[in-house]
Structures are given as C-alpha cells and as structure tokens.
Copies of this chain bind each other. A is one copy, B any other.
C-alpha cells in the first residue's frame, strides 16, 4: 500500500550538523516544509526529543501524532541514537533494514535511517543523510546500473550496481568553495559584490580540467584578476568553476558518460554547463522529490500505522 495514496500523515527531517530541513506529507502531498539553523551540533544535553518537538511544533498541534523519519548526523555517534553504517555493496532493502527505532517519551514512531560505509582500497568512505535521496533516485529512475551525483557542501558520487550502492566517493567541493571564497587571499582583495558569470565559470572549469593539481591551479584566481583576464566581480564564478572542474576531472577519469544528478537551484545550471563540456549525459532529479521518494520507501518498509 502506497502511503502517498493512503491519506496518512507523516514527516521526514533531514537533520544535519548545522541545519535541518523538515517535510510534512498529507494524503500523498507535500503540504509544508520547515528549515533552519538548529543543527545536531547545537543540541545540548542530548535534548533531541524536545528540540524535534519544537522544530515541528505547529504540525504536532494540528495533526497530533504521526510517524517521523530522521536522517543525517542525528543518527551518528554524536547524534540522538546511533544507527550503525550499512556496508557496501548494499541494496535499498538492506538500508531499510538498518533503520533504528528511537526510544522516546512523548513522541511515537520516530525512526533514524543508517548511513553507508564503503571500505575503499586506500581509505574508507561514508555518507549519512544522502542515503535517503540515493534510495529515492534509484527508485524514481528505476536504476539498476549507473551513477548518481548529489552535489552539495560535500558532493557525493555513488555507483549503482544491481540496484544497490556499490561504490562511494565524497568531494568536499562546496565546502572548499565557501572557505576559499570567504576567508582566503584569493578573494580578499576584491571586496566587490560578486555577479554570476557563466563564461568565467566555464573558463575555471576548463582550466581545472587541464591540471591535476588543485592547490596549484587555484592561484590562477589571483593572477587572472591581476592581469585583467577576469573582472574582480567575477572571481567567485571563476573559483567555483575551478573547484567543480577539478571534481569533474575525476568523474571523467572514471569513464562515466551518463549520470543522474540530484539537486536543485541555480548551481544545477552551472553543473549542467560543465557536464555538457565533458559530453556526459545527465538526468536531473529535484533533490526534495528524491528525498521524499526515498523517505516514503523507508516508511512503507516499516509497516507503521499513523
């Protein structure tokens, strides 16, 4: 029985280190969202239940009890209840099987989704939070074999084989961009409001594609401005292109030529430009849709009444 068509009410909360995003589903429709800075690292004295009730207070007042699916750092060692990592290769069913029921006082039916651990040849790889969107994307695309990329602060690349997760990489592309754009010498002399330039973004992508060494190529943000090859107001666009180009150089080195991208917003337009440059075919899937599709799949597997 599909919960989307059942008239039930349920919620899903992507509860990360520094922020949260919550979704309320009623009769199969997304009826409300909430988002804020109340991340897991800001919850003191393990007051997770109280905090969660505050975050979705108006929903509880209006609807009473309903099942809640939690994902993200909330299920890590430093979170509410640890949901141990599921090891690759793993299917959606195995991930669903690792869902942990949270012991609560006033709330009922609170569940935490486990992360995924990949023991690589050189070092381990993990994701926690993104597994919900990944499950959703596999379902939405009826994907048996292929690649999924979920860009963000930490961009996650997942290899799908036989409908499950077989390989996993993390690119800290978004976080590097924020650090360099806010704090580094590459941008500090500009002090000029930045405008998006897809031309300079693509110059950055192409420059990075030619060089394997990010710590070398990054300095070109300074030198190109110095000799007026880029305007001061376009340094951020160029820097973004360098970082995404560096990530894409690695994607291309794996030989992938077809990818499902889970994302939304203006950044996806820039990603699309870069994928076109590399002649990689992309299917774009809205990140909220992928997340809710995955959360629904998990809820169905739990067989909970609400």
> Does A176 have its Cβ within 8 Å of any Cβ on chain B?
yes
How many monomers of this chain does the complex have? 2
Chain B residues whose C-beta falls within 8 Å of the C-beta of A171 in the assembled complex: 213, 215-216, 219
Q: For window 178-195 of chain A, which residues contact chain B by CB distance below 8 Å?
A: 179-180, 183-186, 189
What's the minimum C-beta distance from A181 to chain B, rounded to whole angstroms?
Answer: 11
Q: For window 139-190 of chain A, which residues contact chain B by CB distance below 8 Å?
A: 153-154, 169-173, 175-176, 179-180, 183-186, 189
Q: Which size bracket describes the interface of A in this complex?
A: 35 or more
- Complex contact B123–A154 (CB within 8 A): no
Chain B residues whose C-beta falls within 8 Å of the C-beta of A117 in the assembled complex: 227
> Does A46 have its Cβ within 8 Å of any Cβ on chain B?
no
Chain B residues whose C-beta falls within 8 Å of the C-beta of A249 in the assembled complex: 212-213
Q: For window 207-262 of chain A, which residues contact chain B by CB distance below 8 Å?
A: 207, 210-220, 222-224, 226-227, 229, 243, 246-247, 249-250, 253
Residue ranges of A at the interface with B (Cβ–Cβ < 8 Å): 17, 78, 117, 122-126, 153-154, 169-173, 175-176, 179-180, 183-186, 189, 207, 210-220, 222-224, 226-227, 229, 243, 246-247, 249-250, 253
